[in-house]
Structure formats: structure tokens, C-alpha cells
Amino acid sequence: MSEKYVPSKTLAVLKCKCPQCQSGDMFVYPAYDLKRFYDMYRSCSVCGLEYEIEPGFFWGAMYVSYALTVIMMLCIGGAVLFISNGKADFWTYIIPIISVVLLSSPYTYRLSRVLMLHFLSPVRFDIKLIKK
């Protein structure tokens, strides 16, 4: 690297990068590849970190995904309520909520796993692992 690396946990989370080196990819295929969006590397190609810290570690990502989905649903419902001045019927709420939840499910799946590794695991960023 010719320029100085400035670690950014936010960018590492948004780009689905390794929590330890913040440069290795966590997922094999892009999120819009709907047949394979869930394929993860077993370990980081840069620092060698095993992503599944312990057997069943990512079961907890279901709870994170649930929380993200509830937050999305509340935000969309609030936006519909605000736009319609409280005069929307049942389907005016349900259609946008279901549509957004279904369309964003590959991203929610990935983000929940990334958030688990970055914030709910003992793994921390180590600047010494960055390739020069």
C-alpha cells in the first residue's frame, strides 16, 4: 500500500470485510447473485481468521437479522403513516413492507453475519495484519 491505511469499522461492515484485518472478503459472491448470495469463505484470505468462531456461532445472526427486519418494518410503516397523514388502509402498509423485506433479505442476511463478527465476537482489528 502506498497510502496510509485508516481503519474504518463502518466501511468494513458495509463492504462485508474481515473484522480482524478489514481487508479480506467474507462472502464469495455478490449479494445480488440470488442463487449464491449466502456462500461465505471459511477463513479470511488476508489474515487467515476462521469466520465461524465456534460451531453454531452464526445461529445468533438470526436474532440480529430479526432485529434489523423489525427496524426496517417500523421505519417503512412510519414513512407510510407520515406520507398518508394517517389515512392509509391495511394494504397500503403491508405491500411496501413485504416488498422491501423480501428485496432486502440477501443484504439483511449478510449484514447480520457481519455485525455478529464485528460487534458480538472477541475478534478485534489488528493493524499488523495489513499487507504492505
Is residue 26 one of the residues assigned to a domain? yes
Is residue 80 one of the residues assigned to a domain? yes
Q: Look up the domain containing 51 and give its range.
A: 9-129
90-103 residue pLDDT tens: 898 899 999 999 99
Question: Is 1:129 a contact under the CB 8 Å cutoff?
Answer: no
CA distance 15 to 114: 9
Is residue 117 one of the residues assigned to a domain? yes
Is residue 105 one of the residues assigned to a domain? yes
Is residue 1 one of the residues assigned to a domain? no
SS3 50: strand
More confident residue, 63 or 125: 63
Question: Is 97:77 a contact under the CB 8 Å cutoff?
Answer: yes
What is the pLDDT confidence band of residue 125, given thresholds at 50, 70 and 90?
Answer: confident
The total number of residues shown for the chain amounts to 132
Look at residue 126 in the predicted model and tell me its pLDDT: 81
For residues 57-70, average pLDDT: 93
Kindly tell me if the per-residue pLDDT of 46 is higher than 70. Answer: yes
7-40 residue pLDDT tens: 788 999 999 999 998 888 999 999 888 899 899 9
What is the pLDDT confidence band of residue 6, given thresholds at 50, 70 and 90?
Answer: low
SS3 21: coil
Predicted TM-score (pTM) above 0.75: yes
Count up the domains in the chain and report the number.
Answer: 1
Look at residue 124 in the predicted model and tell me its pLDDT: 87
